[in-house]
Amino acid sequence: MEVYELMKDSKYRMYIGAVDKALKNFEYTSEWADLIAALGKLNKVLLSYTKYPDIPRRIKIGKRLAQCMHPALPSGVHLKALETYDIIFKSMGTDRLSLELFIYSAGLFPLLGHAAMNIRPLLLTVYETHFVPLRERLRPALSGFLSGVLPGLETGSDYFDRTNALLENVCEGVGPAYFYTCIWQCIRSNSPVRLPAISYVLSHYSRKLTMEDQLYLMGNDVDIMVSGLCAAIYDPSILVQRSALDLLIVCFPMNNNQLLYSDMVRLVTAALTTILRRDMSLNRRLYSWLLNSDVNPQY
C-alpha cells in the first residue's frame, strides 16, 4: 500500500502521531535507564500497529536504534533495542526489509563484535529469522553483514557453531561465488576480521577435491582475492600472517594452475617480507610453501 493511500487511513495517521510522541521521549534521555524506557514506549506503539508494514518515521527510528547500540551502553539497552528491531522486521516482512535494509543495518552490523554474551544469541536469532530468508536480496549489504558477523566466529566460543551455520546459510542464499568475493573484500580492507575470515575459508576448503573443483572459494575476482591475501600477509598480527601462509600452502601451492604468474609474484613478494619478523613459525610456513612441501599448520 502506497504512502499516500495510507494517509487516507485515520488509524495510520494515529500511528504516525503515536510514533512521533514515542520518539520525542528520546530527546529527554539523560541516562541509560531513560533509553530503555523510551524504547519500551516505542515498542508498545509498534506492537499496536503491526498490521501496517510501512513503518512511519523509519529513518529517525533507525538513527535512534543505532544510537542505542553504542558500545558504551549497557547490555540492557542493546537487549531492548533488539526487541524493537525484531518487532519492526516482523511488521515489515521480508520484501520490504530487503528494500529498507540500509536504514537498520548501521545499528545492527557493528553490535556482535562488542556485544555481551547474553546479547549474542538474540542477535543471531534476528539474523537467522529475518536476514537468512532474504537470500540473494542480501547481496547489497553482504560486505557489511560479514564484517559484523565474522568477529563472532571465535574458535571455542559458545556460539561458534551457530555463527558458522549462519554464514553457511547466507552463503547458500546469496551464492557461493558472490559470498566469497565479499569475504575477500573484507579480508582486503578490514583488519579485525582477517583471522576469522581466513579461518572460515580454510575450514571450508576440501582437501579431497582440487581447487579447480571449488573455484567459488576464489570469488568472482581473482585480483580481490590476491589483494586480500597480500593484505593479510602484511598484517601486523603474526596469527593473521600464519593463517594466510597456511591458506597459501593448502590452497595455492607453487605449482597451482589457478593463479597467473603476476599474481604469484605479488604473493611471493608479500610472503618474503615475513622473514623480517624473525619468527620461526612464519619462516617454516614460508619455506614449506616456497619448496612445495607439506606442513602441519597446527605448529
With beta carbons less than 8 A apart as the criterion, state whether 259 and 270 touch.
Answer: no
Q: Tens of pLDDT along 49-107?
A: 888 888 999 999 999 999 999 999 999 999 999 999 999 999 999 999 999 999 999 89
Q: How confident is the model at residue 3 (pLDDT cuts 50, 70, 90)?
A: low
With beta carbons less than 8 A apart as the criterion, state whether 57 and 16 touch.
Answer: yes
Q: Please give the model's pTM, rounded to 2 decimal places.
A: 0.89
- Is pLDDT of 278 > 70? yes
Q: Locate the domains of the chain by residue range.
A: 1-132, 175-299
DSSP, residue by residue, 246-294: HHHHHH--TT-SSS-HHHHHHHHHHHHGGGGG--HHHHHHHHHHHTT--
Cα gap 152→129, rounded to integer Å: 18
Cα gap 217→94, rounded to integer Å: 28
Half-sphere exposure for 127 (CA within 13 Å, toward CB):
29
The rounded mean pLDDT for the chain is 91
- Is pLDDT of 179 > 70? yes
Q: Which three cell numbers stand for residue 50?
A: 503491526
Cα gap 9→23, rounded to integer Å: 21
Q: What is the pLDDT of residue 2?
A: 64
Helices (DSSP H) in 117-193: which residue ranges? Answer: 120-126, 142-149, 160-174, 176-189
Cα 90–Cα 92–Cα 94 angle in degrees, nearest 5: 85
Weakest-pLDDT range from 45-49, 89-93, 107-111, 157-161: 157-161
